[in-house]
Structure 1
Amino acid sequence: MTRITADISVSLDGFVTGPDPGPRNGLGTGGEALHTWAFSDAPDDRRIVREATARSGAVVLGRRLFDLVDGPDGWNDDVGYGAREATKPAFVVVTTAPPESVRPSDLDWTFVTSGLGDAVATARGRAEAASSAAGRDLDVVLMGGGATIRSALDAGLVDELTLHLAPVVLGGGTPLFSGGTPRTLVQRTVITTSTATHLTYDVGR
């Protein structure tokens, strides 16, 4: 069965970027430390990246994150979702208007202008089609940014929450949680590597 998984890196003080994020500084000041685990060559970290990519049938991201991905300092052959892996999922962007062009044109992009719920439904359809083709269950991954994941949690769209807890205190930036609808989480797994603690929860409805 296709599940909707929110997956994001977060600091010990609850931020998904450092202070002053912007077009040329997408992760904010010091925010690169949040993703050390994703670029690590340590076997445990590589396994987590590999397994997450392998079960991704479609990926949802918000427009602000897409603009960073699409920008001059964005994704390339070495940096990006599954960049070092053999398979790449479909990408679904929540936006008010599609861009005129896309720089990472080798990836499968769909732009949804009718809201987050429709974007998740579109991604679910893509993931279910990919599951049928692969002969195994693949998931929808909400990779961010923080506002997109908060909205999805508040709307009850998320089945599973995975947090990559980085050993850094940023002191400010974009918070993952800032009020919103209370949710009950059931802890499923805790994996500790040299660069992060990887926490997975079932999300109560």
Structure 2
Amino acid sequence: MTRIIADISVSLDGFVTGPDPGPANGLGDGGDGLHAWAFSEDPEDGRILREAAARSGAVVMGRRLFDVVDGPWGWDDETGYGAGEAARPGFFVLTGSAPAAVRLTDLDWTFVTTGLADAVAAARVHAEAESARAGTDLDVVVMGGGATVASAVDAGLIDELTLHLAPVMLGSGTPLFSAGAPRTLVQRRVVPTSTATHLTYDVR
């Protein structure tokens, strides 16, 4: 069964970027430590990354994140979805309007202008079709940015929340959660590694 999974790295003080994020500074000032686990040599970090990439049938992201990953300082042959794992899911970008051009033309981009629920619904259809072709269950991964993940949780669109809790305190930046709808979480897994604590919750 296809599940909708929010998956994001966050600092101990609740930020998903440092201050002043932008296309040339995607994680903001001091934010590189948030994703150190994705490039770690710790075998548990590697397993978590590989399994997440392998289960991805479709990915949802917001327009600001798209502008970072598709920008000149964004993803390349060594750094991409899954930090270089061989994952080629369909990407669904929540945006007010489609961009005039796309740099990463080897990836499957769909631009959704009718809201987050429609983006998730379209991604689910894609992931279910990929599941049928692959003969295994694949999921929709809502990868960010923070506002997209928080909005999806608030809207009740998320089945599972995975947080990669990095041992850094950024002091300011882009918060993951602020005031939002109350949700009950059921803790399913806690995996501590040398670079992060990986937390998985079912969202009720």
Task: Tell me if both proteins adopt one fold, taking TM over 0.5 as the criterion.
Answer: yes
Q: Which ranges of 4 or more aligned residues in structure 1 deviate by more than 4 Å?
A: none
Stretch deviating more after TM superposition (35-44 or 154-163): 35-44
Q: What amino acid sits opposite 2:158 in the alignment?
A: V
Matched with 1:201 is: 201
Match of 2:115 in 1: 115
- Kindly state the Cα deviation for residue 86 of structure 1 after the two structures are TM-superposed: 2.5
Q: Which residue of structure 2 aligns with residue 8 of structure 1?
A: 8
Mapped partners of 1:84, 1:166: distance in 2: 20
The answer to whether 1:127 aligns with 2:120 is no
CA distance in 1, matches of 2:142, 2:64: 14
Alignment of 1:42-61 (within 5 A): 42-61=42-61
Residues 182-202 of structure 1: per-residue CA shift (max 9 Å, x gap): 100000000011100000000
Paired with 1:190 and 1:2, the residues of 2 have a C-alpha distance of 22
Instruction: Verify: 1:67 aligned to 2:67, yes or no.
Output: yes
C-alpha displacement of 1:84: 2.5
Contact 1:77 1:83 in 2 (8 A): no
Question: Match of 1:139?
Answer: 139
In structure 2, the residue matched to 1:184 is 184
Distance 2:47 2:141 in 1: 17
Q: TM-score, normalised by structure 1?
A: 0.97
Cα deviations across residues 37-83 of structure 1 (Å, max 9, x unaligned)? 01112211111110000000000000000000111100001111135
- One-letter amino acid matched to 2:29: T
Partner of 2:102: 102
Query: More strand by proportion, 1 or 2?
Result: 2
Cα separation, 2, equivalents of 1:18 and 1:158: 25
Q: List runs of 5+ in structure 2 lacking aligned partners.
A: none
State how far apart, in whole Å, the 1-side matches of 2:60 and 2:152 are.
11
- 1:165 is aligned to 165
Counterpart-to-counterpart distance in 2, 1:16 and 1:80: 18
Give, in whole Å, the separation in 2 of the partners of 1:63 and 1:84: 21
Conservation of the 8 A alpha-carbon contact between 1:76 and 1:83: no
Segment drifting more, 194-203 vs 76-85:
76-85
SS where residue 199 of structure 1 aligns? strand
The 2-side partners of 1:113 and 1:79 are apart by 27
**Identical amino acids, percent of aligned pairs:** 74
What TM-score does the superposition give when structure 2 sets the normalisation length?
0.98
Work out the CA distance in 2 between the residues paired with 1:16 and 1:23.
15
Distance 1:64 1:42 in 2: 30
* Root mean square deviation of aligned Cα: 0.8
Structure 1 unaligned segments of length 5 or more: list them. Answer: none
Deviations 1:164-191 (A, max 9, x none): 0000000000000101101000000000
Equivalent pairs, count:
204
Question: What's 1:27 paired with?
Answer: 27
